[in-house]
Structure 1
Amino acid sequence: MELRDYVRILHKNWIFIAVATLLGVAIAAGYSLTLTPKYQASTELYVSVRAGNSGAATDLVQGTSFARQAVTSYVSVVNSASVLDRVIDDLHLKTTATALAPKVTADSPLNTVLIDITVTDSNPQLAANIANSIGQNTSYVVTNELEKPTGGTSLINIQTIQPAVAPSKPTSPNVPLNIILGLLIGLAVGVGVSLLRSILDTRIHNSHDIEDVTDRPILGAISYDPGAKKRPLIVHADPRNPRAESFRSLRTNLQFVNFGNGPRSYVITSSIPGEGKSTTAANLAISLAETGARVALIDGDLRLPKVADYMGVEGAVGLTDVLIGRTPLADVMHKWGRGELYILPAGRIPPNPSELLGSNAMSQLLNTLTAEFDYVLVDAPPLLLVTDAAVVSKLTGGAIIAAASGVTKKNELAAAVRALEHIGSRLVGVIVTMLPTKGPDSNGYGVYGYGVQNEFEDESVIEKRIRRAAQV
């Protein structure tokens, strides 16, 4: 993926990422509040060796050197049972040396004769008392039990140079640090899950996804309209709507596909059902007719015809009747609107749609219409379900595939493209439908300020306008 893809993913999933980040902060803060505060108190001991009676400098050097070597061993004495048992007795603690030892840490800075003792406890004053008691008892155990010669006085001297005091603030939990860690973890989880979802999501979302499947041109991008079922003919019902403008852009692009090559005929199809091919075909036909072109819209979906319902014309007799020679073409071509748009409905549903659509009669019909009209559009069934669209596309100038954003998968579009290539049919281009109106995958027409004043117009008024146009 390119940088723009990562930016698009982050932009598209920013709400999820923000929620994951806030959740991480909340969990970290909640966890910190449930923890018992811990306090640390520290004391520091100084280890020395008593000089001999001579007081010579060499005695002092040797004593210091010995103390540095011995202090490493004395650090281990701090946590020994000999010291901790005495501390427990002195402070009357209800615990054992084994239980107390994990609360005590001791170390010696490199090349020094110092011992640092730190005690951690939920009671700050008790932590200081234990630390001071450990210092005193470490000195006692070393000088009176470990390093005391028989019948003499120990040469080792351990004294406290920094007594422990009760801390005023707990050392744990570190709430600010935990919150920062929670924020970073939540952010990482949010971004990681978003990237993983994007990698595993094989659906088409924008034009870049189309480019990953085919190098054919993207003829148009149509935004999603939740009210498309109630008013499918948006170009006619609300001409100033941004979605209607998208169909006009599609019209412009299609006009230049075969510029100067005479009449054009195209099959409008899709990979799977529900990608908006029929509404696309109907609105494209209206848009082309608005320019003064003569347009024929054929409902070639002989399995699930929709054009007649969308356009508001009688669909009981149509393409099927013409192909079997039952009805003349002129009797079933319905003029729609004030322009030169004519509708040929599907008619009755035959038992053998593929055979009819691939017949010589269909070829002759298309030749006749192509000679009489500037544009011939055929709404055909999805390519992956039946062969109807592929069969008809061989008889026309090529196929145009509608791919729905968030619905069509890349492998489905690729299979549809292969189905056309397999029979030698031409893929004119792809139309991306159902694009979101906002976000990184949106069409973007809204930013130009096209009016949408009719968007909330009463549906009955719109239906009357459609029926009136069909009767003109």
Structure 2
Amino acid sequence: MDQAKAYIEYKDFIKILRKRILVIILIVIAILAIAVIYRTQLSKPSYEARVSLIIGSVINNEKTQFQIDNVKETKEYMQTYIMILKTNVVAERTIERLGLNMSVKEFKKHIQAEHTSGTQFMEIKVRWDSPDMAFSVLENITEIFSEEAIRIYPSYSIKTLEMVGPYQYEVLSDSFFYTVSIICGAITALFVVLVIELFDSTIKNEEDIENQLNVPVIGTIPKFRKSDFNIDNIIRDNKYCSLDSFRTIRTYLLYISKKSGIKAIVITSARAQEGKSSTAAMLAIVLAQSGKKTLLMDCDLRSPSLHSIFATPQVGLSNYLSGEESALEDIVYESITANLFVLPAGTNAINPVELISSDAMKNLINSLKEEFDYIILDTPPVGMFTEAQVLSQFTDGYLIVVSSNESEKALARKAVKLLRYAEANIIGALLNKVPDSKLYRKYGYYYG
């Protein structure tokens, strides 16, 4: 069980990375660009100069020869000599001699000293942002240190073996610096992506719908560009990718219709832009293609769209319910798909809720059930308006359209709760706008 859970979590993590890959790439590029600018434009080069000293007792007046037999004795004092170098006296004298405008504490940050274990050798290093200053400071601090050390230990001498530098000092090589920058960028990008996902409250997959809404998912619909949605092309091209998804949904509806007598089906959503109108249109098309006489009814009197999709006159439902049109056959339009008829929303709907909840609407649906095998009703979002709830007393079932990575969990839960308060029969949910690269390859069609 734990292994299965871990596998699912791993798969989800990979999906997150694939979904946010552009964000990850942009963050890595941005951090790498900052690193390049800092490295090439903002960071000051550092220069290092160093000197090697030998400390001990001499055996000649020129102080060029040291006694070898007191190495053990001298090396025990090496740490003391390092401490002498680090005293404020040495720092202050060097600052004063060179006329430096800095504190003793700041000056000491530029100086390093160490001794080679088991020897009389001591090394002093100076790092500065100027090669001339690095050498000058090294030269002066070595001289002042030697004076102070001999003053304290007059029996010992200090001799310079070699002085090296100045040379440009790099803590990190360019290759290592940029490698670390890329790694840091990747880690930062992953952190940002995970934070985004943590605060992302949208529904992403079927599991989210079932867990959050307690509603079965009866179909998934691929994502496509709105500009690509042309009803004439869809009807003429049976290979259109999303038709296959709707045929699967149709099979389920035909089954439950035969079992439960469902004919009038409301298509709604929690909010606008979920794709409910295009979903209603596509579902009506595939039902009609199966030989079922189908009526697609636009009950979204506030923001109708089906008359635009099917290129019909707009006069329709509201005009009939308000008494402006008395002949139903004048406002039900036959589409280019056999068995599919469209009833537009109508015009001048001043009081949509009153019209939809009227006895005239009830009688209309009852009479239409006698004439059509299926009635598909496109309604306003249930989370925004009440028309979808009102229709529960006249219709047989509801399908809720939920957009992957767009629908808010809280809004979707509220929509389901409102429908259940109205005692609506929720058949299931349709997960819309699902990106699936497998569909691209299978159908050779691009979906945005």
* 1:354-376 Cα shifts (integer Å, max 9, x gaps): 34433444344434433443322
Letter in 2 for 1:146: I
- TM normalised by structure 1 equals 0.76
Asked whether the 8 Å contact 2:321–2:355 carries over to 1, the reply is no
Distance 1:71 1:294, change over 3 A: same
Query: Where in structure 2 are the equivalents of 1:365-384 lying within 5 Å?
Result: 365-384=364-383
Distance 1:106 1:257, change over 3 A: farther
- 1:39 is paired with a residue whose SS is strand
1:412 aligns with 2:419: no
Aligned to 1:16: 23
In the alignment, the residues of structure 1 paired with residue 148 and residue 426 of structure 2 have an alpha-carbon distance, to the nearest angstrom, of 93
- 2:227 is paired with a residue whose SS is coil
Aligned to 2:45: 37
**Residue 76 of structure 1 is aligned with which of 65, 83, 98?**
83
Percent sequence identity over aligned pairs: 26
Aligned to 2:3: none
In the alignment, the residues of structure 1 paired with residue 313 and residue 39 of structure 2 have an alpha-carbon distance, to the nearest angstrom, of 71
- 2:440 is paired with a residue whose SS is helix
- 2:48 is paired with a residue whose SS is strand
Aligned to 1:56: none
Residue 209 of structure 1 deviates from its aligned partner by: 4.5
- 1:293 is paired with a residue whose SS is coil
Asked whether the 8 Å contact 1:240–1:450 carries over to 2, the reply is no
Query: Where in structure 2 are the equivalents of 1:106-255 lying within 5 Å?
Result: 106-108=113-115, 114-122=121-129, 127=134, 131=138, 134-135=141-142, 137-143=144-150, 145-148=151-154, 154=155, 156-160=156-160, 162-166=161-165, 169-172=168-171, 174-207=173-206, 209-218=208-217, 219-227=219-227, 231-232=230-231, 234-236=233-235, 238-255=237-254
Letter in 2 for 1:447: R
1:25 aligns with 2:19: no
Residue 391 of structure 1 deviates from its aligned partner by: 1.5
Task: Show structure 1 runs of 5+ residues with no match.
Answer: 52-59, 149-153, 436-440, 456-472
Greater alpha carbon shift after TM alignment, 386-395 vs 305-314? 305-314
Asked whether the 8 Å contact 1:27–1:182 carries over to 2, the reply is no
1:6 aligns with 2:6: no
Residue-pair matches, total: 429
In the alignment, the residues of structure 2 paired with residue 21 and residue 41 of structure 1 have an alpha-carbon distance, to the nearest angstrom, of 37
Asked whether the 8 Å contact 2:78–2:122 carries over to 1, the reply is yes
Asked whether the 8 Å contact 1:393–1:425 carries over to 2, the reply is yes
* 1:280-301 Cα shifts (integer Å, max 9, x gaps): 2122111111111121222222
Distance 1:111 1:6, change over 3 A: same
In the alignment, the residues of structure 1 paired with residue 146 and residue 329 of structure 2 have an alpha-carbon distance, to the nearest angstrom, of 116
**Residue 109 of structure 2 is aligned with which of 102, 119, 124?**
102
Distance 1:81 1:222, change over 3 A: closer
In the alignment, the residues of structure 2 paired with residue 246 and residue 317 of structure 1 have an alpha-carbon distance, to the nearest angstrom, of 30
In the alignment, the residues of structure 1 paired with residue 173 and residue 9 of structure 2 have an alpha-carbon distance, to the nearest angstrom, of 39
Asked whether the 8 Å contact 1:272–1:385 carries over to 2, the reply is yes
- TM normalised by structure 2 equals 0.80
Asked whether the 8 Å contact 1:288–1:295 carries over to 2, the reply is yes
- 1:284 is paired with a residue whose SS is helix
* 1:325-361 Cα shifts (integer Å, max 9, x gaps): 9635455443333522233333455544334433444
